[in-house]
């Protein structure tokens, strides 16, 4: 079967799925065909293509099925939702002793509560609150505080996101200036207290300040330059003003090694080797620079030619830029003339 035939078949199935409900026929407008029995076959088929690309399917167990972080429970004719955590969930949240602003921690508790209560059916609310309390105790939150935040108001009032008509609202929002400062316990609070009376200045305490980047290391090392690949590079001569410009798909480190070997063997196909041998010059490999990073071969060739064309005093031969379209050569000449007449 050809690919287009298969696609047409799939499209046909998705466009022509019908089901009956209370004696009436309906055409399904969204999703895959429903029904029992076919799931296992479909799954087996999908997973037969590649051992590294495996799908799983969640099936209803005891009249319930988890979906994201809720569990949908079928109770006769109605569906009810309960809060659900994956078995792999670590239960780790912002720890109470973590160096974060206090209001951030309080907000976390109240927001979790609002979220959980909104998502779940009232019959599950008391056990959800119990679960939340247990979770935050595990994360170091004092029980007294949790009782106050979680248990005080029995039904959670929905948080209305509307502008209240207080003095803050009288100030045009466009006039408000936000200033970000790194969160430092005690100090940041004192600073924001100073600005409390200035309604048009808002101090935002952040954990994402550039300062923190200095303190916390990146998880992944930056690639060492000599192990860069797919680059346009320049190598200067140590004895005169000329530079060699080249490109490679290999590690820059490897390319330098082969340049050294070419120069030693006096290879006549390498412009760098020719320059070093004809003039008895010493190449300054330690000052190799990466001009462009470009994984695409043809784009890289173009950038190499362009670099040769715009650089004065290269070791490269004239034919290295032969493939550069005349229009580019013309534009480069024009810009060089323009620069020299304006300096
Ligand atoms: Zn030289």
Position 215 scores a pLDDT of: 67
Position 122 scores a pLDDT of: 93
Per the CB < 8 A criterion, the answer to whether 282 and 259 are in contact is: no
Instruction: Tell me which DSSP letter residue 113 carries.
Output: H
Q: How many Å apart are CA 61 and CA 58, to the nearest integer?
A: 9
All residues with CB under 5 Å from ion ligand 1: 237, 239-240, 242, 281
Residue 212 CB partners (closer than 8 Å, separation 6+)? 182
Position 78 scores a pLDDT of: 87
Per the CB < 8 A criterion, the answer to whether 182 and 188 are in contact is: yes
3-class secondary structure, 314: strand
Structure tokens, 25 = 């026929």
pLDDT tens digits in sequence order for the chain, 343 residues long: 889 999 998 888 888 888 888 888 888 887 777 766 677 888 888 899 999 999 888 888 889 999 888 999 998 888 899 999 888 888 999 999 988 888 889 999 999 999 999 999 999 999 999 999 999 999 999 999 999 999 876 554 444 444 444 555 556 777 888 888 888 888 888 888 888 888 888 888 877 656 666 666 666 666 678 888 899 999 999 999 999 999 999 999 999 999 999 999 988 888 999 999 999 999 999 999 999 999 999 999 989 998 998 888 899 987 777 777 777 777 777 777 777 776 6
**pLDDT per position as a tens digit, 181-220:** 888 888 888 888 888 888 888 888 877 656 666 666 666 6
Instruction: Tell me which DSSP letter residue 188 carries.
Output: H
For ligand 1, the distance from its centroid to the CA atom of residue 334, given in whole angstroms, is 28
For ligand 1, the distance from its centroid to the CA atom of residue 216, given in whole angstroms, is 45
What are the start-end ranges of the H helices in the chain?
Answer: 3-15, 38-47, 102-119, 125-138, 143-146, 167-170, 187-194, 210-215, 252-264, 271-279, 297-310, 326-341
Per the CB < 8 A criterion, the answer to whether 83 and 91 are in contact is: no
For ligand 1, the distance from its centroid to the CA atom of residue 243, given in whole angstroms, is 8
Q: Is the dihedral of CA 93, 95, 96, 101 positive or negative?
A: negative
**pLDDT per position as a tens digit, 108-125:** 999 999 999 999 999 999
Complete DSSP assignment for 195-249: TTT-TTEEEEEES--HHHHHHSPPSSPPPPGGG-EEEEEEEEBSSSS-EEEEEEE
For ligand 1, the distance from its centroid to the CA atom of residue 50, given in whole angstroms, is 56
For ligand 1, the distance from its centroid to the CA atom of residue 288, given in whole angstroms, is 14
For ligand 1, the distance from its centroid to the CA atom of residue 251, given in whole angstroms, is 24
For ligand 1, the distance from its centroid to the CA atom of residue 245, given in whole angstroms, is 13
Position 217 scores a pLDDT of: 62
Position 163 scores a pLDDT of: 42
Position 256 scores a pLDDT of: 94
Q: How many Å apart are CA 290 and CA 255, to the nearest integer?
A: 12
For ligand 1, the distance from its centroid to the CA atom of residue 317, given in whole angstroms, is 14
- Return the axis-axis angle of helices 252-264 and 271-279, rounded to nearest 10°: 40
- How would you class 55 by CB atoms within 10 Å of its CB: exposed for 0-12, middle for 13-18, buried for 19 or more? exposed
Reference 235, options 224, 247, 243; nearest CA is: 243
Q: How many Å apart are CA 240 and CA 262, to the nearest integer?
A: 19
């Amino acid at each position: 079967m050809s690919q287009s035939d298969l696609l047409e078949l799939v499209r046909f199935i998705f466009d022509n799925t019908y089901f009956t409900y209370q004696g009436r026929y309906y055409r399904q407008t969204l999703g895959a065909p429903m029904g029992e029995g076919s799931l296992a076959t479909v799954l087996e088929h999908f997973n037969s293509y590649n051992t590294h690309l495996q799908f799983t399917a969640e099936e209803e167990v005891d009249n319930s099925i988890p979906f994201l972080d809720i569990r949908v429970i079928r109770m006769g004719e109605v569906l009810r939702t309960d809060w659900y955590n994956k078995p792999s969930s670590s239960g780790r949240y912002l720890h109470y002793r973590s160096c974060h602003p206090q209001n951030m921690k309080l907000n976390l508790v109240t927001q979790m509560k609002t979220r959980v209560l909104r998502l779940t059916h009232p019959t599950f609310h008391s056990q959800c609150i119990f679960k939340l309390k247990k979770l935050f105790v595990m994360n170091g939150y004092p029980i007294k505080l949790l009782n106050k935040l979680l248990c005080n108001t029995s039904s959670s009032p929905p948080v209305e996101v509307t502008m209240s008509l207080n003095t803050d609202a009288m100030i045009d929002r466009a006039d408000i200036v936000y200033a970000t400062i790194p969160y430092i316990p005690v100090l940041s609070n004192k600073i924001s207290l100073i600005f409390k009376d200035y309604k048009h200045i808002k101090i935002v305490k952040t954990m994402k300040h550039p300062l923190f980047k200095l303190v916390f290391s990146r998880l992944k090392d930056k690639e060492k330059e000599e192990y860069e690949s797919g680059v346009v590079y320049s190598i200067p001569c140590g004895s005169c003003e000329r530079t060699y410009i080249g490109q490679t798909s290999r590690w820059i480190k490897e390319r330098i090694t082969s340049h050294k070997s070419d120069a030693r063997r006096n290879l006549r196909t390498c412009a760098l080797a020719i320059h070093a041998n004809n003039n008895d010059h010493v190449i300054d490999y330690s000052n190799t620079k990466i001009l462009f990073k470009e994984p695409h071969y043809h784009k890289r060739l173009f950038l190499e030619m362009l670099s040769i064309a715009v650089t004065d005093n290269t070791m490269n031969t004239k034919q290295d830029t032969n493939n550069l379209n005349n229009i580019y050569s013309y534009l480069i000449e024009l810009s060089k003339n323009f620069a020299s007449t304006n300096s």
